[in-house]
Amino acid sequence: MRLAQVSQIPYSRRVGPYHFQMIQAKLSGPVQPIVGYSLQPFYTRQQQWMTDMADSLSQLYCYTAELSQAAKQFDPSRRNSVLHARVAVSSHPERAQAKAAPGAEPGSYQLDVIRLATQQTNRGIMAESSGPSLLPPGVYTFSLTIGQQENILAIQAKQDDSHEQLLKRLAGVIHQADLAASIEYSETMSRMVLRSSHTGAKHAFQLRDIDGAVVRTLGLDQVAMKASDAEYDLDGTRSGSPFNQVELSGKVAATLLQPGKASLVIQPNSELLLEKTRELVTRYNRLHAFVEERPNLFTTTLPASLEQIARSVQSGLADYGLHIAPNGQLKLDEETLTRSVERDFSAFVQDVSKVSQLVERETGKWRTASPANLTGFNEEDASGRAFSSFLLPNHFYRQAVYTGLIINQLW
């Protein structure tokens, strides 16, 4: 049985009748105990109540922290805010693609790829792989010039070298000069293929013989493709780059894939915004249901704060598909949210940031409040309680009320 208050019984009414009977019997003390009973059931109930209280507070702090974390995703002052997430869409992804960093300004770019940046490629003379080397035995030296840097290289041809063995030894020497060297096979034939390590005209290379004729004999100076810079028009302005990855603005980069025109659109990440909004609504509704299921456990401060958050969402984000359901929880119209964000993203940022700040402020109060300030009997006014302050006797009183155990104690 749960009592609302403690009745004070006068001392004379509690002790007087029994004391009078003792005098009549000429006894100075009781012969037998008045009544013998066990307090174990009451103690067990009290321990269960304390355990339930601790579990409820733990869940409250957990749900509150998760709601706060979801709200922080919509705080524009945070670098990892979902409001800064961007996606880049290309009208012709086979010609050019773009990537937008967080916080990139939404907008569009008109790109016309005229020419791609290329690597220089030299292809040598084909010869039978297992046949004898094209070079007589001896030591050969040659120079490899990349840009303004010249490297002097040397290779030794042996009497019993096959063509493939010589190419493999030569590839190892050229690799040391930071030039890509590989062997290209065609059935039983093979030849040396050299490529610049990067695209662009400044990475072009040149080979020439110094001692011997290794370059001329193997055809290493035969250019199959010249190194060139990329050339493109961006919004009507001609530009060039030694690479096929070009920067369109401070936070937008494009990859050139083939000549042709493409329109690149930078826009907010609507899918991620929708996902994080669902998460915010779900975590609010979970906390709301948790508090509503325990009306006699928490003070009226929590429901009032949740109602304030819901009203703020209703007033600020109704145009974006967020409303209050009849049960007090939030509901989301995903199509309305997507259309509204696409129509006026800047207005959405301003409105949702206000809600985010309110949620962070209110949940911050709950996380820093003591358990005594979060729990109480909100079905009656504090002035009608036997103990109205949050002192130690009041906690004893609360436990007694919840367990149904009232003990009259003589102070």
Per-residue pLDDT tens listing for the chain (411 residues): 444 454 555 656 655 666 666 565 555 555 554 455 556 676 677 777 778 888 888 888 899 999 999 999 999 999 899 999 999 999 999 999 999 999 999 999 999 999 999 999 999 999 999 999 999 999 999 999 998 889 999 999 999 999 999 999 999 999 888 888 999 999 999 999 999 989 999 999 999 999 999 999 999 999 999 999 999 999 999 999 999 999 998 899 999 999 999 999 999 999 999 999 999 999 999 999 998 888 777 777 888 889 999 999 989 999 999 999 999 999 999 999 999 999 999 999 999 999 999 999 988 888 887 777 777 544 444 444 444 444 444 444 455 444 444 444 433
Q: Say what the pLDDT of residue 28 is.
A: 54
User: 82 — phi, psi (to 5°)?
Assistant: -65, -20
Rounded distance between C-alpha atoms, residue 319 and residue 408, angstroms: 60
Rounded distance between C-alpha atoms, residue 4 and residue 257, angstroms: 78
Rounded distance between C-alpha atoms, residue 111 and residue 230, angstroms: 13
Q: Say what the pLDDT of residue 383 is.
A: 44
Residue 264 identity (one-letter amino acid): L
| Cβ-based neighbour number of residue 26 at 10 Å | 6
- Residues paired with residue 132 on neighbouring β-strands, in sequence order: 162
Sequence-ordered alpha helix ranges (H) in 176-300: 214-218, 270-292
Rounded distance between C-alpha atoms, residue 182 and residue 195, angstroms: 9
Query: Cα dihedral angle (362, 363, 365, 370), rounded to 10 degrees?
Result: 150
The verdict on pTM exceeding 0.85 is no
Residue 189 identity (one-letter amino acid): M
Residue identified by tokens 């072009």 is 204
Q: Say what the pLDDT of residue 32 is.
A: 54
Residue identified by tokens 């100075």 is 28
Q: Say what the pLDDT of residue 385 is.
A: 47
